[in-house]
Amino acid sequence: MNEIVVFGDSAAQGIVLDENGQYKVSRAGCIRLLKRKGYPIRNYAVHGYTILQGLEAFRALALEPGSLCLIEFGGNDCDLDWDAVSAHPEVFHDGKVPIADFRLQLSRFAAEARARSLTPVFVTPLPIMSDRFYRWVSKNRNSENILHYLRDDMESISRWQERYAIAVRAIAAEEGCPLVDIRNFMLNQLDYPFLMCEDGIHPNEAGHAVLTELIDAHCQNRIC
């Protein structure tokens, strides 16, 4: 089986909320569970990383030619500066990595991976639960201002984030890269709300267990 190197954000790192509402790296995150199944994985995902930071980390590492390079970004790239939104809801706020730049960096990541004899594999960001995420980012901020910015429509959070998942799918197709569409996988789970943390963006340990089975099945059929 080819070695797998993972570049991504907290979803791939295995971040969950503990009983005190604090972020921690779970011992039952999907990447750790996949390693226990025998997948030769090296995980370079980091909580909070955008694709810009992931690409920088990728460039700094010596990686074994022939490896699969999983690229999982979008969750932080699309995120807004919620302090700024709370303070100034009357002006437009773009994502940390605007969508056009995000698409460019995805293509660049694929090209640089191939130049190093790696196989780039794109992974879609998980779907966000808008109501939970709104409550989460509104803590200790002006929730009315944030809702005003959202035009009184919390679901606009999900639509905003979905553009980044669409971009991942599009660039995977343009570049001819394998795609692991965990977003679609999870949306097919009828109990999806019970697989997510209170913040609406991170899967809980039950969610990681489901992701592990989904990715395992996908890998057996497609990319490994």
- Domain of 53, CATH number, reads 3.40.50.1110
* Angle, helices 156-175/99-115, rounded to nearest 10 degrees: 30
Produce one character per residue of 36-53: b if its CB has 16 or more CB atoms within 10 Å, e if not: eeebebebbbbbebbbbb
Band of residue 224 on the pLDDT scale cut at 50, 70, 90: very low
Q: What is the mean pLDDT of residues 69-82?
A: 98
Is residue 27 assigned to a domain?
yes
Check whether 31 has a pLDDT greater than 50.
yes
Nearest to 123 by CA among 163, 170, 179: 179
Is residue 48 assigned to a domain?
yes
Share above pLDDT 70 across residues of the chain, in percent, rounded to a whole number: 98
Largest Cα separation within the chain, whole Å, is 53
Q: Beta-carbon neighbour count of residue 194 at 10 Å?
A: 10
Question: Tokens 């660039």 correspond to what residue?
Answer: 171
Band of residue 219 on the pLDDT scale cut at 50, 70, 90: confident
Residues 58 and 61: their CA atoms lie apart, in Å, by 6
Which residues does 85 contact at the CB level (< 8 Å), separation at least 6?
A: 93, 145, 146, 149
Q: Write down the pLDDT at residue 85.
A: 98
Residues 211 and 124: their CA atoms lie apart, in Å, by 12
Nearest to 51 by CA among 118, 16, 84, 96: 96
Q: What is the mean pLDDT of residues 206-215?
A: 93
Band of residue 1 on the pLDDT scale cut at 50, 70, 90: low
Is residue 214 assigned to a domain?
yes
Within 13 Å and on the Cβ side, how many CA atoms surround 17?
A: 13
Is residue 132 assigned to a domain?
no
Q: Write down the pLDDT at residue 215.
A: 84
How would you classify residue 180: left for phi > 0, otherwise alpha for psi between -120 and 50, otherwise beta? beta
Residue 44's domain spans which residues? 4-81+96-127+155-218
In the chain, the number of structural domains is 1
Q: Write down the pLDDT at residue 214.
A: 84
- Which amino acid, 66? G
Check whether 152 has a pLDDT greater than 60.
yes
Q: Write down the pLDDT at residue 40.
A: 96
Q: Write down the pLDDT at residue 137.
A: 98
Check whether 220 has a pLDDT greater than 90.
no
Check whether 223 has a pLDDT greater than 60.
no
Residues 127 and 124: their CA atoms lie apart, in Å, by 9
Is residue 146 assigned to a domain?
no
End-to-end CA distance of the chain: 6
Check whether 128 has a pLDDT greater than 80.
yes
Q: What is the mean pLDDT of residues 155-174?
A: 98
- For strands 15-17 and 23-25, give the pairing: antiparallel
Q: Kindly provide the residue ranges of all beta strands, DSSP E only, lying in the chain, ordered along the sequence.
A: 4-8, 15-17, 23-25, 41-43, 68-72, 119-123, 179-180
pTM, two decimals, is: 0.95
